[in-house]
Amino acid sequence: MINLQVPIDEKTVRSLRVGDQVSLSGAVLTARDRAHKYLVEEFVEVSQPNDDERENLLRIEQRLQDGVIYHCGPVVKEHDDGRAEFVSAGPTTSIREEGVQAEVIERFGVRAVIGKGGMGARTLSALKEYGAVYLHAIGGAATFLARSVERVDGVVHRDFGVAEAMWEIELKDFVAVVTMDSHGGSLHDEVREASASSLSGVLASMGQAPVDKQQR
């Protein structure tokens, strides 16, 4: 198990390889579909951010520079005094952000993206170019992972809804596996290829046509 502390520098990130198990601590920002759309529309596609968003931008930049994005739509207990607590906080499917993740990594200097299911070729090449990794959290381990959320420091755009808001959280010993690294490695590609060849073997032993003979 490799300990990672946010902020993460480029050298550390580039030392990580596919298959490494990590334990991550420090400041993280949750962001899923609505938040990614917002980040791109407000801060990537425009040269000047909207005045109303300046303060949010500062907070986001501060968290994300050498920082971590977590694809997570949590269940949150919000107390009357304004405090918030993560009740349930597993990863959500990452591939939905494939269209914009590369831009967000570049714009904000993100060093790690946590999610589940892996991402595609565009993100993989952004990881390589800007020095970042994709960390696969344990899908569905929501209660366990919520215990790794030590504190909720605040929230940006609570109006997006509980699951879609950008929660500023502090993690302690959050467990994940590097499944895409900054050297072009992807565990998802490796397993897909290995399982495709196992599939051919299985089909052959069942007396069925092998995959490569089929018209795919």
- Which position among 7, 120, 139, 154 is part of the footprint of ligand SF4 (CB under 6 A)? 139
Site pattern 47..86 for ligand SF4 (x: CB under 6 A):
----------------------------------------
- Contact between 173 and other proteins by CB under 8 A: the answer reads no
Residue linked to tokens 């949150």:
76
Out of 74, 90, 118, 131, name the contact with ligand SF4 by CB under 6 A: 90
Binding ligand SF4 (rule: CB under 6 A), the pick from 140, 161, 184, 201 is 140
Contact between 178 and 134 (Cβ < 8 Å): yes
From other proteins, ligand SF4, none, which one binds at residue 11 (CB under 5 to 8 Å depending on kind)? none
Which tokens hold the place of 96?
Answer: 């939905």
Residues 23 and 115: their CA atoms lie apart, in Å, by 14
Report the amino acid identity of residue 150: E
Smaller CB distance to ligand SF4: residue 140 or 201?
140
Joined together, the tokens standing for residue 2 give: 């490799």
Which residues fall within 8 angstroms of residue 55, CB to CB, at 6 or more apart? none
Nearest alpha carbon to residue 135 among 83, 85, 65, 187? 187
Q: How far is the CB of 139 from ligand SF4 (least distance, A)?
A: 4
Query: What is the x/- site pattern for other proteins, positions 147-166, by CB under 8 A?
Result: x-------------xxxx--
Residue 2: strand pairing partners:
22
Whether residue 92 contacts residue 145, with contact meaning beta carbons closer than 8 Å, is answered with no
Q: Which is nearer to ligand SF4, 115 or 131 (CB)?
A: 115
Binding site for ligand SF4 (CB under 6 A): 90, 139-140
